[in-house]
Structure 1
């Protein structure tokens, strides 16, 4: 699949959904798996724009693909190093909303929606690979 390059701005995020949906359709993902992939990509891309670049200029790069078992999207940026899975804590669902710390829930939802997630930081670039299995494993 061709690479999608976007300015790191909230308005650019609207272009991500059609890219993810096209890949999911070509891969034959179920509606549930498509939703999980879209949720994760959307959340992680928003996180890069809001917290990685902190409103400054930058670029997001997405490329997706598939093989016999899985569909994947790699999200790359040039923001400071940040591994979303490092230190990702479970949300404090036992606390009333007014007592819960702000932040972290979106990353938790994104990472738990995926079947696999990998982050690398090399040569000034964050690279996150998000994976959804094409079908449920058989037992």
Structure 2
């Protein structure tokens, strides 16, 4: 049996879609016998989706997530119709030296994404934010 090496997930602006996202990720990674990838990838995608809905200023959000397995690497493409924003350059750097009470809000999710993936790329094409993440598996 040939395993599908690619999955495309379309999401709108309904927080309830996160449950379906988790289910789809679970199915995809179980098919590839990579269950240890479910939680980290779910965290990455929830962070990006949360940023789209909370800060994207897009009225009605449209998100397309593409997962692709290539040899021992996962390629994640995340696209949204939010305002132009490169999280890898424009997001605040978190103050990791302060206590939680002292720390300003913002930047920690992008910090996690940077540390949980091998590479990150952002581009804006025809009004769409396109993020590409690579993660060894």
TM over 0.5, yes or no?
yes
Question: How big is the alpha-carbon RMSD for the aligned residues of Structure 1 and Structure 2?
Answer: 2.0
Q: TM-score, normalised by structure 2?
A: 0.82
Q: Which residue of 2 aligns with 1:126?
A: 129
- Measure, in 2, the Cα distance between the counterparts of 1:112 and 1:122: 26
SS at match of 2:88: coil
Give 1:7 deviation, angstroms: 1.0
Distance 2:57 2:28 in 1: 26
Higher deviation after alignment, 36-45 or 82-91: 82-91
May I ask how many residue pairs the two structures share in their alignment?
Answer: 132
Is 1:35 matched with 2:39?
A: yes
- C-alpha distance in 1 between matches for 2:25 and 2:39: 10
SS of 1:53's partner is coil
Partner residue of 2:16 out of 11, 19, 39: 11
CA shift at 1:90, angstroms? 4.3
Q: Which consecutive residues of structure 2, in runs of 5 or more, have no partner in the other structure?
A: 1-5
Unaligned runs of 5+ in 1: 135-139
1:64-101 superposed Cα distances (whole Å, 9 cap, x missing partner): 11111311221111111111111445422322322211
Q: Between the two structures, name the one with larger relative contact order (CA 8 Å, sep ≥ 6).
A: 1
CA–CA separation in structure 2 for the residues paired with 1:24 and 1:130: 17
TM-score, reference length from structure 1: 0.81
Moved over 3 A (4+): 87-90
